[in-house]
Amino acid sequence: MKINAATTLPAALDELPGHYIRRLQQIAVAVFLQETEAHGLTPVQFAALHTVGHAPGIDQRTLAGRVGLDTSTVAGVIDRLEARGLIERQASPADRRVRLLALTREGMQALRAVAPDMLKAQERILAPLRKAERVEFMRMLRVLVEANNELSRAPSDAV
């Protein structure tokens, strides 16, 4: 049986929102890494540092839920940040199996140091849009993420 691609597939990739979302993710990571290269952090490591910095004593499972990553990925991220001396883990007094996270002094310094460059990256990503379009774009992104959160491999608790 021969499948006629012209009648079973969209005419072009540019008709597929998923294609553009994947491309924008690639662009966002590339711009982030360009702007923050001197700090040696990935976007996921930044998200972990940022979240722990705003919620000292958070446990790894809760961190994973807040940033929308699976727990094994977060464990690896924390391992790398801990090895760099940016995050420390302590056993919870209530449950010794639970690891509580806090930024070290170096971690807080790293977070403060990377923040201006991270903001430059965000600005570069949104630069083609006018101010009103940026607001609307962010609103629409939130709608899509919140409405589809449960479809994620690692749904975020923060939505």
Domain count, the chain: 1
Would you state the structure tokens that stand for residue 146, as one six-digit string? 């919140």
Per the prediction, the chain carries an average pLDDT of: 92
Residue 157 lies in a domain: no
Domain that holds residue 117: 27-145
Residue 6 has a pLDDT of: 58
Would you state the structure tokens that stand for residue 69, as one six-digit string? 């990553």
Residue 113 lies in a domain: yes
Where does the chain show beta strands of DSSP type E? 58-59, 87-91, 99-103
CA distances from 108 to 37, 40, 92, 140, 157 (A): 18, 15, 21, 32, 24
d(CA 38, CA 117): 9
Q: What is the pLDDT of residues 72-83, one digit of tens each?
A: 999 999 999 999
- pLDDT above 60 for 1: no
- pLDDT above 80 for 158: no
Residue 152 has a pLDDT of: 83
More confident residue, 102 or 1: 102
Residue 133 lies in a domain: yes
**Among 125, 122, 117, CA closest to 27:** 125
Beta bridge partners of 49: none
Domain holding 99: CATH number? Answer: 1.10.10.10
Residue 36 lies in a domain: yes
